[in-house]
């Protein structure tokens, strides 16, 4: 496994991050334990979760599974850089202060509950799951500064923030003499390159490490030719407006991977990690076998010819006047 620093922080993380969203909902607890043990064996020491994860089992269930895994001991908690999130409602969204958003009142309660479920005394990376356009700088940064001062949280990150949001909040933090965000978790893959316009350039400029989620586009970039109805990949097909069996891009992608002797999922993740703004790629593992060979993605360096061929296959224009690179050059002179 290869490692890097998370953004401008001095925190070392594996370039592959274990995404736990499916634990408790799709993946039973016993297999989740096996996946986490195997991840550590492979050198994956960066685990990402959220307080709202749990699927049909219920919100909070995924954190509880991680907590019971930590409780087994054997140095598990000390071996892991643990990231979780806050923003969504955990009970009835109609209850005052439980609606989506951030407040000092809500964050304090939600963090306390996450720590209980995770059976730990601190979170290494606490991420704001979505931007709250209403909150003031004083309340937002005052809240997270206190958490860091108390040792409940070591670093603060974001998820699903726009480029302007990263710039706004990071400038506020710097004005207060605070480290601010060290990471931004955004959806980024060969089929979704929108973050290249604003989010990735802003993150790179401010020293915010990108954690790319869905680097495999929910399974679309794994070499599959058909997705069972109701599966994760089936649903993502519809979200992206694509069809595995009828889209020529996927056949060309598999042919390219065959030419260079690498598996599709390895190439897709390696492409995501090649962007200098990206610190780690979050891979949501549902079954133990999905981990096998994943470390190759962190090691693989794609040459210029391969990167150009990937650009041709996954034409970013898609009917719009876009060119590779950041805004405004992507659409203006």
234 tagged catalytic: no
61 and 51 Cβ atoms separated by less than 8 Å: no
* Close Cβ partners of 176 (under 8 Å, ≥ 6 residues apart): 137, 141, 145
Q: How far apart are CA 140 and CA 129, in angstroms?
A: 14
215 and 188 Cβ atoms separated by less than 8 Å: yes
Q: How far apart are CA 190 and CA 212, in angstroms?
A: 11
From 53, 87, 126, 213, the catalytic residue: 53
Helix spans in the chain (H): 29-41, 61-71, 76-79, 104-118, 137-150, 163-175, 199-206, 232-240, 248-260, 264-273, 295-299, 304-313
The helices-and-strands tally (H runs, E runs) of the chain is 12, 10
Question: Would you give the end-to-end CA distance of the chain in angstroms?
Answer: 41
**200 in helix, strand or coil?**
helix
Q: How far apart are CA 233 and CA 224, in angstroms?
A: 9
* Close Cβ partners of 27 (under 8 Å, ≥ 6 residues apart): 35, 285, 286, 287
Q: How far apart are CA 225 and CA 244, in angstroms?
A: 5
DSSP string, 141-186: HHHHHHHHHHTSEEEEEEES--HHHHHHHHHHHHHTT---EEEEEE
Report the catalytic residues: 53
């Amino acid at each position: 496994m290869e490692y890097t620093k998370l953004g401008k922080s001095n925190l070392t993380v594996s370039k592959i991050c274990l995404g736990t969203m499916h634990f408790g909902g799709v993946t039973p607890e016993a297999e989740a334990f096996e996946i986490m043990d195997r991840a550590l064996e492979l050198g994956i020491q960066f685990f990402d979760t959220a307080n709202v994860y749990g699927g049909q089992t219920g919100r909070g269930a995924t954190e509880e599974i991680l907590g019971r895994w930590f409780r087994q001991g054997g140095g598990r908690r000390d071996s892991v850089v643990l990231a979780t999130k806050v923003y969504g409602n955990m009970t009835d969204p109609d209850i005052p202060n439980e609606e989506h958003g951030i407040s000092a009142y809500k964050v304090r309660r939600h963090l306390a509950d996450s720590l209980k479920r995770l059976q730990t005394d601190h979170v290494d990376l606490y991420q704001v799951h979505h931007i709250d356009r209403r909150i003031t700088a004083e309340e937002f940064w005052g809240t997270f500064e206190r958490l860091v001062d108390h040792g409940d949280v070591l670093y603060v990150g974001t998820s699903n923030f726009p480029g302007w949001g990263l710039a706004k909040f990071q400038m506020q933090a710097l004005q207060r003499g605070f480290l601010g965000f060290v990471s931004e978790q955004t959806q980024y893959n060969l089929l979704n390159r929108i973050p290249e316009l604003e989010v990735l350039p802003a993150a790179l400029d401010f020293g915010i490490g990108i954690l790319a989620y869905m680097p495999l586009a929910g399974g679309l970039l794994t070499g599959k030719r058909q997705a069972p109805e109701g599966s994760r990949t089936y649903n993502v097909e519809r979200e992206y407006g694509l069809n595995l069996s009828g889209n020529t891009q996927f056949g060309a992608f598999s042919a390219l991977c065959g030419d260079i002797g690498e598996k599709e999922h390895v190439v897709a993740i390696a492409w995501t990690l090649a962007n200098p703004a990206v610190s780690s790629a979050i891979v949501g593992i549902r079954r133990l076998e999905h981990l096998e060979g994943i470390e190759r993605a962190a090691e693989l360096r794609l040459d210029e010819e391969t990167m150009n061929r990937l650009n041709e296959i996954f034409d970013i224009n898609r009917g719009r006047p876009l060119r590779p690179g950041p805004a405004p050059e992507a659409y203006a002179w």
